[in-house]
Every structure is written in C-alpha cells, then in structure tokens.
Structure 1
Amino acid sequence: MVTRLTFAGVIARVFMWTFLLCLAVVVVYPLTWMVLNGFKTNAELFGNPFALPLQWGWENYSAAWNRGVSNYLTTSILVTVTSTIATVFISAWAAYGLARVEIPFSRTWATVILGGLMLAPTVALVPLVKMFQSMGLYNTFWALLILYTAFRIPFTTFLIRAYMIDLPREVDEAAEVDGASRWTAFWRIILPMCRPIIISVIILHILFAWNEYLFAMVFTSGTDVQTLPVGLTSLMSRHGTDYPVVFAGMVIAALPVVVLFFACQRYFVKGLADGIGK
C-alpha cells in the first residue's frame, strides 16, 4: 500500500512539473522571441524569424525611442501613477466607511458601489464621449485620469473592503479611547494593517492602466496625450513597417510592469489570497 502511494505521488509530481514546464514555455517563449527580434533587421526577421540575430545592437531600440516611444512612455507613467493614487485612496476610504463605520444603509451603498462591476466600459463609450466633449475634457490627460479612476473604484473597493472586514474591531475601539479621529484611525492604523491588499490593488491597477487600449484610443488623438498601447500602433505604416523597431518598442513598454510584478509578487499573492479568501 505504501509503495502504491509513493508511486502515485511520483506520477503526480511528474505531471505537475511537466505542466508547469509547458506553461513556462508558453509564457516565456513569446517574450523571448519578441526581445530577440528587436535586435534583427527586417530581412533577418522575415528570412528566419526563429534564428538568433546575426549582429547584436541597440539601433532598433534607439529608433523606437526617438520615434515617439519616449513621449508615450512619459504619458503612460503620468496617467498610471496619478490614476493609481486616486483610485487606491478613494477606494480605501470608501472601503473603510463600508466595513468599519456604522452608517445608515451601508449594505445598500455597498451594493450600489459593487454594482459598478457589472457596467461594461463599451456600453458607456458614446455618452462618455459626448459628455467629455461638452466639458472640454476630450483628448486631454484628465479624460484618461477620470475614466481609469472611475471604472476601477468598484473592483478596488471590493477587494479592500473584503480585507478590512476581518480586521479586529478592538483596534478601532482602542483608537477611539485614545481620542483619535476617524481620519487618524484610518490613516495611521487601518491603512498600514491593509498593506498586503493595498500593494495588490496597486499592482492590479498599474497593469490595467498601463495596458488599457480602448479608452486611450477613443478619448485621445494627439501624440502628446497618447499612451503606449495606442502610440505603438503609430510605429506601423501602411507602406512598410519596420517590425524590429515595433518589437523593440513593445519590449520597452513591457519592461517596467514585468520588473514591478517580479519585485512585488510576494505581497501581490498574499494580499489577494487574504482579501478574496475572506
């Protein structure tokens, strides 16, 4: 009986590692192929797309940077950072009110806020375009900031609220006895205790804002306000595209979020596990 269990365990372990290896190849290989093709010429790319570059140089990366990627990168960083700060702060404050403060109709308010998860962005595109044009916000940085913040608040609030609900109530009572205001208790006590979920929602929002394409395409048209996903399409031409330059631009666009995720993955997984599991 022991031998059978051991054999079954070995087989299960082999299947698990085989599956993980195949998954790693599926994920890593396209990224590696994209990076390598950023060092080739068009002739090399079409002649043998799966071979290593004949010469290693940074000309394609420099060309992509000079052809607008630097401006798109600056805009993406600005929009992502500001919308992340606004979304996380508003969502954390809303979650604190829904989870830690006794307010009338708190369940109703929670339902209304979380109901925003059911609203598909594509449904609201036409009225939003009309509204932003009438307000003079169309094709501006503020349009993307408002959209990215508004459409992510329900989901972010849901995660932070789920984490705050199980925090001990004695912490609030002790803060109240010491004379701390609601703002002080939230900022200096509750928020530090929610660090894992805060880091998780920050990473999730950065991934969303950095890669978002629909809003950035519809609500911006000038090169000075376009983000990376939209700006990279301008590197492609109807009369001939220098694909290695396009691949180089894609590598530049992907590098910041890849580094961020690997640097914070421990907190990301812990925060999501604690928040969603509660």
Structure 2
Amino acid sequence: MRGSDRILVWIGSFLRQALVIGATLLSLFPVYFMIVSAFKTRFEYIEDKWGLPQSLYWANFDTALAGEKFFIRFANSSILTVGSVFLSLIIACLAAYAFARMEFYGKRTLFNIILSLMVVPPVVMIVPLFVAMVRWKLVNTYQGTILIYTGLLLPFSIYLMTNFFRTIPREIIEAARIDGCSSLRVFWNIMMPLSAPALITLIVVNALWVWNELLIALVFMQKDELKTLMVGIAALRSRNYVDIPATMAGLLIATIPIVVVYMFGQRYFIRGLTGGAVK
C-alpha cells in the first residue's frame, strides 16, 4: 500500500472514530446533566448549570420522594407498565404466529394494515380514544389505560415477532407436527422458547415506552391517586416555580427500574432487534 493510500485510510478511520465518539458524548450528555443537577442546590444550579456539584445535596431526593406521593405514582406506573407489556406480548405472539406460519385469506393485506399503524402518532388518536373511554366508563381506570397502551404497542410488537418467527427453520415445525404436536403446542413448546431474544427485546422496548409516556397518562388518569410517576415528576414544575434539581432527582430515581430491566435483558437485546428487523 502506498503512503498516500495509507494516509487516506488513517484519515477515514479517524473520522469514523471521531463521529462515533461525538455521537456517544451527545447521547450521554442528558444523562450527565440529570445526574449532576440532581445533587446540586438550586443556587448552585443557577450559578453553574453544567459543572459538577460542590457537594452532594441529598435534599432533592427527599423533595422528589415526599412532595408528590412518589411511591403511589411508582406503583401506578408499575401496574400500567407490567399490565400493558404482558397483554401486548401475549396478543402479539399469537398474532405473529398466525402471520408467520399459517395461511388464511387476506393475511398480507391485514399485516400491511397493522404495519401502517406504526406511523400513526398517538396524539392524533387522543380525542377519539377519550370519547370512547368516556362512553365505556374506562376513564380513570387501570383497565382503560392498559387497553390503550396495549393497542399502541401491538403494531411494532406484531411486526418484530412475525419477522423473528419467520427466521425459525420450518423443518423444526414440520418435525413437531409429524410427532403429533398441535398448532398450540408448537407455538408454546417450540416457537416461544426459541424466540427468547425477541421476547426480551419487546419487553425492554415496550416497558421503556410505557414507563416514560406522559400524554396518555395525563389525559386518562386524571385522579390524583391514579397519576403516574412521570406525571408526578412533571408536577414539580408549575408556572411560577421550577425546581430543576428536585425534578432531576425524581427522573434519576425513575430511571433506575428501566436500567435494571435493560441490564437484565441486554444479552438478548441486539440479537432480538436484528433477528426481527428484516422483512
């Protein structure tokens, strides 16, 4: 390799590494800001928003935990997250199995309709959903909000699981059918265990979205005792009073459960995304 070619290769490698490092720092900056702000006093925050705190100020966590009924909010968020993720996972797996391994009239059309729902933003459905929930008397109930979250999670969940099921060799399923397995037994004893990476990926992604969701929780869970953690943290800010350090402390605490879920499933995460990402 000539010297000029070697220089070009080195420059290209340097630019790629610089781009990756820059993107990493950019994505980690909000995390840094949240952590350092959570341990500052309000005076320190006003004086220096980006620097490190002079000392660890733990009173912000007391404000976040006590001021907005933190544990009630935490329980509400946990109920909605677990309920909606579990329900959407069951429905998505059953539907994906039908799309991937069964033949029925209109399968491709129905699958394409479900895919098209992935591009519809939830905000455009707020009014019709609210009218429907009022008519069914499901406003300010866990059941109604879980039902809405489940419907919003299903398009992506069905898409991912369908494509992952298609990667499972058909010979395995045919061998099971020769041994006398029914469709339900093939689904439960073969497809589900082999789809662990995709299942873990769905749990992490869907739990992250539901846990951090604010708009639907704010509209459909209006009673004070039913408000979620994100709504409670947002309530730390009012028109004439903004306690950023206490808000960051609440967000830091709220981040811990999702980080734990991700750490638990990280070994399957990339495999699940790549395995179900190709149509």
Q: Residue 79 of structure 2 corresponds to which residue in structure 1?
A: 78
SS at match of 2:235: helix
CA 1:11–1:262 in structure 2 vs 1: closer, same or farther (change >3 Å)? farther
Q: For structure 2, list consecutive stretches of 5 or more residues without a partner in the other structure.
A: none
Q: 2:46 matched to 1:33?
A: no
Q: Residue 222 of structure 1 corresponds to which residue in structure 2?
A: 223
SS at match of 1:235: coil
Q: Residue 201 of structure 2 corresponds to which residue in structure 1?
A: 200
Give the root-mean-square deviation of aligned CA atoms. 1.9
SS at match of 1:19: helix
Q: For structure 1, list consecutive stretches of 5 or more residues without a partner in the other structure.
A: none
Q: Residue 265 of structure 1 corresponds to which residue in structure 2?
A: 266
Kindly provide the CA deviation profile for residues 102-142 of structure 1, in whole angstroms up to 9, marking residues without a partner as x: 22332233233333324332232212111111211101111
Q: How does 1:42-191 map to 2 (within 5 A)?
A: 42-67=42-67, 68-191=69-192
2-side partners of 1:33 and 1:104: how far apart?
A: 53
Deviation at 1:262, TM superposition (A): 4.3
Kindly provide the CA deviation profile for residues 42-77 of structure 1, in whole angstroms up to 9, marking residues without a partner as x: 111112223322331422112211122222222111
2-side partners of 1:139 and 1:159: how far apart?
A: 31
CA 1:2–1:43 in structure 2 vs 1: closer, same or farther (change >3 Å)? same
2-side partners of 1:148 and 1:78: how far apart?
A: 12
2-side partners of 1:261 and 1:69: how far apart?
A: 22
Kindly provide the CA deviation profile for residues 179-205 of structure 1, in whole angstroms up to 9, marking residues without a partner as x: 212111101101111122222222211
CA 1:2–1:263 in structure 2 vs 1: closer, same or farther (change >3 Å)? farther
2-side partners of 1:242 and 1:232: how far apart?
A: 11
CA contact (8 A) 2:80 2:146 kept: yes
CA contact (8 A) 1:223 1:231 kept: no
CA contact (8 A) 1:196 1:267 kept: yes
2-side partners of 1:49 and 1:219: how far apart?
A: 35
CA contact (8 A) 1:216 1:230 kept: yes
CA 1:60–1:131 in structure 2 vs 1: closer, same or farther (change >3 Å)? same
CA contact (8 A) 1:42 1:242 kept: yes
Paired residues, number:
278
SS at match of 1:84: helix
2-side partners of 1:80 and 1:202: how far apart?
A: 10
Deviation at 1:91, TM superposition (A): 0.4
Deviation at 1:97, TM superposition (A): 0.7
2-side partners of 1:165 and 1:2: how far apart?
A: 47
Percent of residue pairs identical: 32
In the superposition, the TM-score normalised over structure 1's length comes to 0.92
2-side partners of 1:239 and 1:98: how far apart?
A: 53
CA 1:42–1:202 in structure 2 vs 1: closer, same or farther (change >3 Å)? same
Deviation at 1:29, TM superposition (A): 2.4
2-side partners of 1:266 and 1:16: how far apart?
A: 26
The residue type paired with residue 268 of structure 1 is F
Q: Residue 275 of structure 2 corresponds to which residue in structure 1?
A: 274
In the superposition, the TM-score normalised over structure 2's length comes to 0.92
